[in-house]
Amino acid sequence: MEDYHKPDQQTLQALRNIANRLRISSIKATTAAGSGHPTSCCSVAEIMSVLFFHTMRYRPEDPRNPNNDRFVLSKGHAAPVLYAVWAETGYLKESDLLNLRKIDSTLEGHPVPKQQFVDVATGSLGQGLGAACGMAYTGKYFDKASYRVYCLLGDGELSEGAVWESMAFASYYQLDNLVAILDINRLGQSDPAPLQHHMEKYQRRCEAFGWNAIIVDGHSVEELCKVLGQPRHQPTAIIAKTVKGKGIPAAEDKMGWHGKPLPKDMADSVLKELNSRILNNNKRLYPPTPMDDAPPVSVRNIRMPSAPNYKPGEKIATRKAYGLALAKLGRYNERVVALDGDTKNSTFCEIFRNEHPNRYVECYIAEQNMVSVAVGCAARDRNIVFASTFATFFTRAFDQLRMAAISESNINLCGSHCGVSIGEDGPSQMGLEDIAMFRAIPTATVFYPSDGVSTEKAVELAANTKGICFIRTSRPENAIIYNCNEDFHVGQAKVVYKSNDDQITVIGAGVTLHEAVAAAEQLKKERINIRVIDPFTIKPLDAKTIIDNAKATRGRIITVEDHYYEGGLGEAVCSSVVNEPGFSVHRLAVAHVPRSGKPAELLKIFGIDKDAIIQAVKKMMGSSANAK
């Protein structure tokens, strides 16, 4: 970075004026809305002024320009000050600010990407820095561009462990293009933050995580200009000592004001005082122009170079088929990147790593941060991102996943080792809640492939499907059941076993699909015919195929799944046929917390194996089956 040039007095005064105008706009907006967080905005006014009108390089008329510096407001409740900045640049009208939080305004209570200047939604505290890490990693290693990433955090959210996962990640990968500004305004929502204004404690913590940590007066534009203009060789934390509610005399450094707008009469007198602090100054500040060195990329129409290459009957675990498919997809698509949480030799993401080491990011055992980094890597459509770990460990990142949906993020997640079929490792490693979790996310697509061919197709489809895609893969090896030229689509089920006089429709997925086919073959010898359906995607579920086929089997359906009863395949099927008269659904699933054992033993104990399906079929058919 070029040597620091101290700004002249006119520039410094212009920055002070902007800071006070940001306060004025934040107070006006929150008072008009009757809700919001003006005191949290006021503590960062000088920080935002210096960042956006002196330090950051961006084109104000084009907020998503790939060359722009990135800004993440991790303390999302201070959204009004961000909106005030964009009004100051001329991108928003000042009158827009008075519609804050209204149903027909894009200026919501916390930042969301329907605002063009917001890359990731924030507001669930502690997640902004992880997304900023993903953006900074992309800038340094994938784009090899000069844009920088700035993340503004509150001191309250520093109690979130995810922040420190991100700090460790940034330091390990030497993200010298990343700056975290910590707004140490001392007060949380209901109590002071634990370290209050012990600035050196914050500094020592950041330094222990490998960051260059600098304490500044967060209300001195001169100090902020200097520290933000310094050359950087490692991630930098600017620890800014600020006063919550700065500029509002009744609320400065006082508890009880968090999330409360100023009453109109108080607001009027505060605004009058703040206006008097704005000194005449004709200097208009413009943000520095960015370097145009981010490469053009396209993440549309990502295709496999060739059809799958499996032989019918060949055995392969879907988790391994995932690794092979991902490496193959990456061969002809340079923006396919893969992340993993130190499970790459189990998820088989290592096949991608070995083939494309420069596009693989090891996130270690920090799944919350891995999901946030994935969201950051995918921001502004810079990469097609796949992240993998055991299915069960995505549950600890559920908050990051629900925020990814609010962020309109396009990320692809692969959860391996689902269900009791993993065997001896026991229940702590078994994904048994994951389908329920991902089904609950509005933008999610849930793939549950059952062989190598459908897994490869799921990977290709996920790369081209908007929103959050989850691919559920299994540990055991299972036979290839599809031809390599089989066509797959999101929301399209496959009938894998049928005859003209089927008695019952059985729906299985993954290992239970193979158990269902084995049951069908056994029952056929007893002259009982069943139809077997592979849903392929659990969300969206192909209700039409299920209903059409179940009608041919007198409305009788059995679902069988390696997942808990709640929220899984069975419930998805039930909700899709609830309005069909005369339909009955019998569900087989894992009924309680399992234990260690051999996969076959566990499938048997929990009643989701071939024998259990045969028994359920005969029971459902009742005396007519017994008569045969």
Q: Which residues does the annotation mark as catalytic?
A: 367
Q: Quickly tell me which residue has 């989850």 as its tokens.
A: 470
What Cα–Cα distance (Å) separates residue 177 from each residue in 130, 376, 378?
14, 14, 18
How far apart, in whole angstroms, are the C-alpha atoms of residue 132 and residue 149? 6
Residue 437 vs residues 125, 445, 568: alpha-carbon distances, Å: 21, 12, 9
Residues 6 or more apart in contact with residue 141 via CB below 8 angstroms: 173, 358
Helix (H), strand (E) counts: the chain:
23, 19
Length of the chain in terms of residues written: 628
State both tokens at 264: 């109109």
**CA nearest to 321, candidates 447, 421, 444:** 447
- 70 within 8 A of 132, measured Cβ to Cβ: yes
DSSP symbol at 285 = P
Q: Using DSSP bridges, classify how beta strands 504-508 and 530-534 pair: parallel, antiparallel or unpaired.
A: parallel
* Cα–Cα dist 295/605, whole Å: 55
Answer whether 625's CB lies under 8 Å from 617's CB. Answer: yes
CB 496 within 8 A of CB 533: yes
Residue among 27, 25, 84, 35 nearest 249 (CA)? 27
Residues 6+ apart with CB under 8 A from 204: 213
Question: What is the maximum span of the chain, computed from C-alpha positions, in angstroms?
Answer: 98
Q: How far is CA 524 from the centre of its chain?
A: 46
Helical spans, DSSP H, in 44-118: 45-50, 79-88, 94-97
If residue 276 lies in a helix (H) or strand (E), which one and from where to where? helix 264-276
Pair 407, 72: CB distance under 8 Å: no
Contact assessment for residue 476 and residue 421, using Cβ atoms and an 8 Å cutoff: yes
Q: Which amino acid is at 137?
A: Y
Q: Are 530 and 497 in contact (CB under 8 A)?
A: yes
Residues 6+ apart with CB under 8 A from 96: 83, 87, 105, 107
**Residue tagged 């923006």 (tokens):** 335
Q: Which residues pair with 412 in a beta bridge?
A: 386, 469
